[in-house]
């Protein structure tokens, strides 16, 4: 019953990428919106299953207590449970080879597609991508905001949904690009559920799991 195990058995998954913005209506009836620049962290609500067996999950419950709201966990959606793969599955047309990173800044990730094969599109709008950087340890995934036609160009711009986030010790000028179910998030619980032990060796968490992506 680590965070990942709860995701793997989720009854539903709510995804929140809401931007920080203020909206007002002027006397003339015009709507004015001011957006605050920020990292737009992912937030998730994970529906908790009621089918856990207590005797099989004592160690997992202890792990949940250890993590509490203070320790982060690396999680995936669809890699460790293929039944969830449709949520993050890559929808572009690459059939072979790897994309490599050229540079990433602002709302654009530029890749080298010279070594890939396929057709139609490199990425579909909504695809998940994650550069790994020069160390292979880059933390932050992104979603593509427009279809990117297939090409084998050495410099292809991919528009993404939030400004590229700087990470100390990682240079975004090389490394492969993970996509689809290969992307990872680093999250903490923003509320830790308690649990109740029920007759017939069952255990029930008292609330759904709320997670927030940790931006360093």
Instruction: Kindly list the domain boundaries of the chain, sorted by start residue.
Output: 3-76+185-213, 84-182
Q: Which structure tokens are listed for 106?
A: 């602002």
pTM: 0.90
Burial call 27-59: b when 16+ CB within 10 Å, e when fewer: eeeeeeeeeeeeebbbbbbbebeeebebeebee
Question: Minimal CA–CA distance to 79: which of 7, 16, 160, 132?
Answer: 7
Question: Minimal CA–CA distance to 35: which of 21, 24, 25?
Answer: 21
Q: Which structure tokens are listed for 45?
A: 């609500």
Give the architecture-level CATH label for domain 84-182.
Beta Barrel (2.40)
Question: Minimal CA–CA distance to 14: which of 37, 43, 54?
Answer: 43
pLDDT in tens for each of the 216 residues of the chain? 689 999 999 999 999 998 765 566 766 777 676 555 578 999 999 999 888 999 999 999 999 999 999 999 999 999 999 999 999 999 999 999 999 999 999 999 999 999 999 999 999 999 999 999 999 999 999 999 999 999 999 999 999 999 999 999 999 999 999 999 999 999 999 999 999 999 999 999 999 999 999 999
């Amino acid at each position: 019953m680590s965070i990942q195990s709860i995701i793997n058995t989720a009854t539903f998954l709510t995804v929140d990428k809401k931007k920080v913005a203020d909206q007002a209506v002027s006397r003339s009836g015009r709507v004015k919106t001011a957006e605050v620049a920020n990292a737009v962290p992912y937030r998730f609500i994970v529906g908790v299953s009621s089918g856990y067996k207590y005797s099989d999950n004592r160690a997992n419950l202890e792990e949940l207590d250890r993590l509490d709201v203070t320790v982060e966990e690396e999680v995936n959606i669809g890699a460790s449970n293929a039944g969830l793969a449709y949520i993050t599955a890559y929808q572009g047309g690459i059939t072979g080879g790897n994309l490599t990173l050229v540079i990433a800044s602002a709302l654009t990730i530029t890749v080298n597609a010279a070594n890939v094969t396929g057709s139609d599109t490199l990425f579909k709008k909504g695809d998940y991508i994650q550069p790994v950087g020069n160390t292979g340890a880059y933390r932050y995934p992104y979603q593509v905001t427009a279809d990117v036609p297939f090409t084998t160009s050495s410099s292809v711009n991919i528009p993404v949904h939030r400004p590229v986030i700087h990470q100390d010790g990682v240079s975004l000028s090389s490394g492969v690009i993970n996509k689809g179910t290969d992307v990872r998030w680093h999250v903490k619980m923003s509320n830790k559920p308690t649990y109740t032990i029920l007759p017939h060796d069952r255990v029930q968490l008292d609330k759904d799991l709320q997670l927030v992506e940790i931006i360093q």
